[in-house]
Structure formats: C-alpha cells, structure tokens
Amino acid sequence: MKRVTCLQEGGRTLASTPVEVVAAEVGIAAPEQVTTGASFTVSWTATVNPND
C-alpha cells in the first residue's frame, strides 16, 4: 500500500488516501527487427488506459 497526499504550501496536508499499486497485466507483440520504411504489425492485450 502507498499513500497519496496533497500538500498545501507550507506542508499542511489538505487530503490523503491509501492507494494499492498492482502490476499491470498487459502484453505486446512485435517483430524483433524491421527494415527502415517497412510496414509491420504490433498487437497488444489488455490496456491500462482507455486511450491505449
């Protein structure tokens, strides 16, 4: 568990909450090498951010 704290100038705590940090379960697949200018496919599983 970690704690996120929002501090005001001068160090006064405005808010604080515990946050659980977990490993992301994601995967990515791509060629190990490609020729300059060549097209290639990259695929991934799962996302961390909706914009992924």
Contact present, 27 and 45 (Cβ < 8 Å): yes
Query: Alpha-carbon distance 15 to 50, whole Å?
Result: 27
Q: Which residue would you say has higher pLDDT here, 52 or 18? A: 18
- Give, as one character, the DSSP assignment of residue 19: E
Query: Alpha-carbon distance 37 to 25, whole Å?
Result: 31
* Model pTM score: 0.45
pLDDT digits (tens, 9 = 90+) for 24-52: 888 999 999 999 999 999 999 987 777 77
Those residues with Cβ within 8 angstroms of residue 47's Cβ, 6 or more apart along the chain or in another chain: 26
